[in-house]
A and B are shown apart, each in its own frame.
Chain A
Amino acid sequence: MDKFKEIFDTLRELLLPPKAFSWQTLILLSVFSCLMAALASELIRNLLATCGWIFLIFGVGWFTTENPIKVGDLNLGPWITGILVSIFLFGEWLEEYPSLLFISWPLISAAIASLGEFIGSGPRFKNPSPEGRQRLVILFLSNLIISCWFQLYFVIQGWLNIYPSLLANDFNQSNFVVRLGVQTSEPPTGVLILNQAEALLRAELEPRSWPEVERWLLNLKQQPTDFQNAVMQQLPPSEENGLWQLQAQFLPDQPDYTLQLLALWQGPSSDLSGHYLTKTCRITQGEPPPAPSPTVLEEATISPTPGATEVPQPTTSTSKIECGSISRPTLIQPGPSLPS
């Protein structure tokens, strides 16, 4: 019981204001405002929450002035108060403009830290001495540079958001950035393109009869751009799509129709020349359809049983498509190997 009382006393000593006007008063007021805000209605709640923030900011500011938290000669107090002010001012926009909070933090902190130079004994406004002015210049400039570092982070983050495939690269050589966490193994957009190409290929070929399939494939061989554009148009819109190129080509020394789909990354990468992913599809003639002509068969299967379309391909379609898995990213060798 004594122990409990002791803890209680220490707590009370710490929390309860020694004088009517002290930092503990402000913190208590802030807590009180927040409690009231939780109970109040919408409009009052915002007002009370704002009051709570302001009390908290001044309370913390006061506390850190009375008990400086020091690293070497540097008092970290203004930066603690500063982040509270930044959150108070820009916290609402954290989702939309997260950079605003972080960029303003060092500058606001510098402003708080500089207050001491302007307050003379009294307290009364004073013009800072030449030494004070020199300190202010260095204080503001160095904090401006810290803000710039935050902004640099957000600029790089912006690049990575627009071009997520950049993340597939190796960042070790960089003079600017380090990457923390796991390296993603494959660029998502390239995989997406190849899967989309395969889906389109299946959608085009499966309803056709074998001679039509052959005609379609011949057409693809002569004019691959139509197919490539069709695939690219079906992708979810992204800034990055423009930097990817799809190439569909037939491998010459393979039996049947062996179609190689190749997604080529032409954007920035650690190896200048870029890299590509491939997926190879083999298109062969499936089992010949049962006796009647294809049109009759289709009518027959569709009308009586709705589940007929889910029957494995060889029975309903005259072509068979087998696609392999997607290759790991391959570097483009400078020289002859890139087919165009």
Chain B
Amino acid sequence: MFSVVLPLRAILFQLLFLLVAIAIESIVLQERLNLSRRISLEYSASINLLSTAIGWLFFFTLEPALPLAWKGPLMSYVLFNARSTNTNTLLIMLGLFTFFGTFIVELQGLELLQLLLQRNKKEEATPPKAYRARDKAQRRQLNLAATNRATTILLANACSYSAILLILLARAFDLSFKANGQI
């Protein structure tokens, strides 16, 4: 009897979420870091792909080590979308954890990327001229740029996560609606 289980839905959802996140975060980067449209899009794509890949690698390292008591609910959730209250609590905590994890990875990723491309001098927001006079002010300005970058990434993440959450909620409502319709 031929039967195969493919993670096609996961792939489609991931593509959708990636597109949404890249689009939204690129807008935030463009607005807040004074980047050109193209560069902000490239930055946003890079850091989002990076955080997704690291998330997967994290999952693949962790999954074989999970005890059966955790694996059961994981399998139920992944294969059948069956969740107990415990699983729901865990999912919400996992979501929060992922949010901050993504923030840290994307922030580091952006720094690394700018280092790799060596474009930071040209493209970074040019601060007001008044600060340029002294050395001390220059350091402060660098600090300011770093803070600005962190706030920007945080804001960008908040926006993209909200959008994804809306999509997930819509999906959950759709599913429960269908389930009720059948009964």
Contact = CB atoms under 8 A, between A and B. Distances in A.
Interface of A: 130, 133-134, 137-138, 141-142, 144-145, 148-149, 151-153, 155-157, 159-160, 163, 166-167, 169-171, 173-184, 242, 267-272
A221 to B, nearest CB: 32
Contact of A182 (B1, B46, B73): B1
Given A149-B11, A268-B79, A142 B5 contact: no
Contact of A145 (B3, B13, B52, B113): B52
Contacts, number: 140
Instruction: Rank and list the top 3 A-B pairs by shortest CB-CB distance, nearest first.
Output: A270-B80, A141-B49, A148-B56
Nearest to B46: A137
A145 B46 CA distance: 12
A244 to B, nearest CB: 13
Nearest to A178: B8
Contacts of A160: 5
Contacts of A159: 75, 79
Given A145-B53, A270-B80, A270-B82, A176 B9 contact: yes
A184 B1 contact: yes
A171 to B, nearest CB: 6
A149 B7 contact: yes
A145 B49 contact: yes
Contact of B78 (A137, A142, A174, A180): A174
A174 B119 contact: no
A175 B4 contact: no
A156 B78 CA distance: 9
16 contacts: A133-B117, A138-B42, A145-B56, A148-B53, A149-B7, A169-B79, A173-B175, A176-B9, A176-B13, A179-B3, A180-B4, A181-B4, A242-B68, A269-B76, A269-B82, A272-B83
B45 interface: yes
A182 B116 contact: no
B180 interface: no
A39 B13 CA distance: 51
A173 B81 contact: yes
A159 B81 CA distance: 15
B2 interface: yes
Contact of B7 (A130, A138, A152, A183): A152
B132 interface: no
A144 B78 CA distance: 21
A181 B2 contact: yes
Contact of B5 (A134, A157, A175, A272): A157
A269 B84 CA distance: 12
Contacts of B9: 174-178
B46 A178 contact: no
A151 B56 contact: yes
A268 B117 contact: no
A110 to B, nearest CB: 12
B45 A138 contact: yes
Contacts of B79: 156, 159, 166, 169, 171, 174, 176-177, 268, 270
A267 B4 contact: no
